[in-house]
Amino acid sequence: MTSQYLEIVTFKILPLITYVVFTLGVILKLSSWIKRTYSVSARNNVLPIKKLTLSIILQTLISTISRYVLQFKLLRGSHKLWVVSWITFHIPVLFIIFGHLRGFGVWSLEWFTWIAPKEFLKYTLPMILGVVVMVALITLVMYRLIYLRSVSNISNYIVLFLLILVVGSGNLMRFSLFTIEEKVIVIPPGFTLRLEHTPNINLLILHSILVQILVMYVPFSPLLHIYVSPFLMIVNEVKRIRISES
């Protein structure tokens, strides 16, 4: 009975709170950024800019991809940090997130069976990616403690701590025993999660709660750059290129 109540709180009530906190947090952060941007622009002399052209658009896209998608800023600073942060963390995390979307019916495993066997894609690959991400997170924590302590704040460590808890609980769930029955969870406002097998329900609840706590914390943490940076970088890059060509 207790687990049933926890399921209701985790998958029915908490998601609504998560949506509200995340949305309000992003709005507050964006409004704060916009105010600062206009304040700085008002104090400085703004150079005349040319109209937006295809050349400016292409330069902006190339610059944004190199700076944000490929994280070349890290590559210029430290090759080792770029490998750990981008190759062994960001890329596996993107694959893990993509894999989670299968449970919501976004894509089918049969689409990729030409790449690898179905069992490998379903079980082995997610376990490997989970372990790789956990090792990368621990490495990033050590790197920050050793090399970046002077420029780190409590928010950096909270993010890493939450990420370790999320990935750790997910790994425990994957390596734990499960039952063959299908598990169907309906999350408001109407998302349906279908798990082919039912994992340890307590670990599933723990993992889900931690994920939602992480999502709620995103607007107030350095992780906000995941959502905002591409847009801000495009806007700033367009402005920079247009001014430099004036």
**Buried b / exposed e across 34-52, counting CB within 10 Å, b at 16+?**
eeeeeeeeeeeeeeebeee
Q: Is the peptide bond before 189 cis (omega within 30 degrees of 0)?
A: yes
Mean pLDDT over each residue of the chain, to the nearest integer: 82
User: What does residue 218 show for φ and ψ, rounded to 5 degrees?
Assistant: -50, -50
Q: Is the per-residue pLDDT at 47 higher than 90?
A: no
The DSSP line for 113-136 is: TTTS-HHIIIIIHHHHHHHHHHHH
β strands within the chain, DSSP E:
183-187, 191-195
Q: Is the per-residue pLDDT at 189 higher than 50?
A: yes
pTM: 0.82
Token output for 46? 């703004």
Residue % of the chain over a pLDDT of 90: 53
What is d(CA 156, CA 221) in angstroms, rounded to the nearest whole number? 7
Q: Stretch 174-193: mean pLDDT, rounded?
A: 93
- Residue 90 — very low, low, confident or very high, per pLDDT cuts 50/70/90? confident
Pick from 15-19, 38-42, 122-126: least confident:
38-42
Query: Which are the contacts of 106, defined by CB distance < 8 A and separation ≥ 6?
Result: none
Q: Is the per-residue pLDDT at 22 higher than 50?
A: yes
Question: Angle at CA 115, nearest 5°, toward 110 and 121?
Answer: 65
Q: Convert the pLDDT of each residue in 193-226 to its tens digit.
A: 999 999 999 999 999 999 999 999 998 887 776 6
What is the model's pLDDT at position 17?
A: 97
CATH of domain 2-244: 1.20.950.20
Q: Is the per-residue pLDDT at 103 higher than 70?
A: yes
- Residue 43 — very low, low, confident or very high, per pLDDT cuts 50/70/90? low
What is the model's pLDDT at position 48?
A: 46
- Residue 49 — very low, low, confident or very high, per pLDDT cuts 50/70/90? very low
What is d(CA 82, CA 207) in angstroms, rounded to the nearest whole number? 28
Q: Which residue has the higher pLDDT, 223 or 51?
A: 223
Q: Stretch 91-111: mean pLDDT, rounded?
A: 93
Query: Which are the contacts of 155, defined by CB distance < 8 A and separation ≥ 6?
Result: 220, 221, 222
Q: Stretch 75-88: mean pLDDT, rounded?
A: 68
Q: Is the per-residue pLDDT at 239 higher than 80?
A: no
**For residues 180 and 154, is the Cβ–Cβ distance under 8 A?**
no
Q: Is the per-residue pLDDT at 31 higher than 70?
A: yes
**Could you tell me the residue ranges of all domains in the chain?**
2-244
**How far are the Cα atoms of 16, 23, 24, 30, 158 from residue 27, in angstroms, in the given order?**
17, 6, 5, 5, 22
